[in-house]
């Protein structure tokens, strides 16, 4: 059995959902259209490809919402959140309508494509806006489940961040809460979405709690508070811009003295092509680098 990518699973799931829900519409700007030909054939009025026009992509998606439909809007993250950011801010937020933005490409899904197709800042940008739910699945199964949550979330504004980077196994995620995968005494490591397998490899033999987050906004502060207890040394490992969730963790832990280390993608443009493994290493996000950074931060590092 070959494993679906998250993007494959998105295409399959949205095709099923379009059959099930007459209120659902899908807006595309050429990207992934080849995977959605069946949906387009079956629902020509609700699967809309606007061409290579991303301002129109987002504006038209919001216009569909103004008529009462639930729009799902999809392209690469750099052209869905960054390029038409003001459309996201005004056409959804200011108009007071909801929709689901589903991105592909992540921070460096196609490293050989270079910086123009990398969007490590997408979640941080959405953090400047009010009311966006952000799902970061770490596996195709989770992508399917979180897409269903997103579509079913009334008129909420929801971002689903798909990536080619994935964990070996999908977990039973609920679209809201973090999962506790391990409990330990020396600190808490929060792994976000596709960073989980690398985090688990990095902390092997360490006495730390590992939380797994696939819904990062709203941030599950309660789970973090509970896990941190009175020893709140927290590392958050995110597949996008380093430190994106540090403020949310600080807010969750404001009643206790605490330390937070935010690991993720740096701002510096590497100007490198290559493959994802090379970029993960260059960002210090491979298991060996993560282990060194985590043990260097925790006050009583265990020796494995």
Partner 1 sequence: MTTTATTTTTPRGPAYGYADLGRLMSLMSGDEKHGPAATSTLDALWVLYDRVLRVSPGAVDAPDRDRFLLSKGHGPMAYYAVLAAKGFLPVDVLPGFGSYESPLGHHPDRVLVPGVEIGSGSLGHGLPLAVGTALGLRAQGLTDPAVWVLVGDAELDEGSNHEAIAYAGPAGLDRLHVLVIDNSSASHARPGGLAARFAAAGWSTVTVDGRDHEALHAAYTAAHPGRPHAVIARVEPKNPAEAR
For the CB of residue 113, give the shortest distance to partner 1 in the complex, in Å: 23
Q: Which stretch binds partner 1 (CB under 8 A): 46-54, 134-142, 180-188, 290-298?
A: 46-54
Query: Any contact of residue 80 with partner 1 (CB under 8 A)?
Result: no
For residue 55, what are its two tokens? 């301002």
* 44 Cβ neighbours under 8 A, 6+ residues apart: none
Site string (1-40) toward partner 1, x via CB under 8 A: ------------------------x-x-------------
Q: What's the maximum distance between 2 C-alpha atoms anywhere in the chain?
A: 60
**259 burial via Cβ count (<10 Å: 0-12, 13-18, 19+):** middle
Query: Any contact of residue 251 with partner 1 (CB under 8 A)?
Result: no
Residue from 28, 31, 58, 252 binding partner 1 (CB under 8 A)? 58
Query: Any contact of residue 90 with partner 1 (CB under 8 A)?
Result: yes
**How many CA atoms, within 13 angstroms, populate the side-chain half-sphere of residue 5?**
14
Q: Which stretch binds partner 1 (CB under 8 A): 65-73, 168-176, 261-269, 278-286?
A: 65-73
CB atoms within 10 A of CB 67: 9
* 109 Cβ neighbours under 8 A, 6+ residues apart: 117, 163, 164, 165, 276
Q: Which stretch binds partner 1 (CB under 8 A): 10-18, 50-58, 208-216, 247-255?
A: 50-58
Q: Which stretch binds partner 1 (CB under 8 A): 43-51, 143-151, 184-192, 205-213?
A: 43-51
Query: Any contact of residue 87 with partner 1 (CB under 8 A)?
Result: yes
HEC string for 246-300: HHHHHHHCCCCCCEEEEEEECCCCCCCCCCHHHHHHHCCCCHHHHHHHHHHHCCC
Residues that bind partner 1 (CB under 8 A): 25, 27, 45-46, 48, 50-51, 53, 55-56, 58-69, 71, 86-87, 90-91, 94-96
């Amino acid at each position: 059995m070959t494993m679906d990518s998250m993007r494959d699973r998105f295409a399959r799931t949205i095709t099923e959902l379009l059959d099930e829900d007459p209120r659902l519409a899908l807006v595309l700007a050429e990207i992934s259209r080849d995977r959605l030909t069946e949906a387009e054939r079956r629902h020509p009025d609700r699967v809309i490809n606007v061409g290579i026009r991303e301002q129109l992509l987002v504006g038209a998606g919001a216009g569909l919402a103004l008529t009462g439909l639930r729009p799902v809007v999809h392209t690469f993250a750099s052209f869905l959140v960054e390029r038409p950011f003001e459309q996201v801010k005004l056409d959804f937020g200011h108009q007071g309508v909801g929709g689901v933005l589903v991105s592909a490409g992540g921070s460096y899904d196609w490293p050989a494509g270079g910086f123009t197709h990398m969007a490590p800042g997408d979640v941080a940008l959405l953090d400047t806006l009010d009311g966006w739910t952000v799902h970061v699945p770490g596996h195709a199964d989770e992508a399917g489940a979180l897409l269903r949550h997103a579509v079913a979330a009334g008129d909420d504004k929801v971002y689903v961040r798909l990536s080619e980077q994935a964990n070996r196994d999908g977990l039973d995620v609920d679209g809201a809460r973090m999962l506790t995968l391990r409990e330990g005494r020396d600190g808490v490591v929060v792994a976000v979405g596709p960073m989980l397998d690398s985090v688990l490899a990095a902390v092997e033999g360490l006495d730390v709690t590992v939380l797994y987050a696939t819904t990062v906004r709203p941030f599950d502060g309660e789970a973090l508070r509970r896990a941190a207890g009175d020893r709140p040394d927290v590392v958050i490992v995110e597949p996008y811009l380093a430190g994106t969730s540090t403020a949310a963790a600080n807010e969750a832990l404001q009643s206790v003295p605490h330390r937070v280390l935010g690991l993720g993608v740096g701002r510096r443009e590497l100007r490198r092509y290559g493959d994802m493994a090379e970029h993960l290493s260059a960002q210090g996000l491979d298991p060996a680098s993560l282990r060194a950074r985590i043990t260097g931060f925790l006050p009583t590092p265990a020796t494995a």
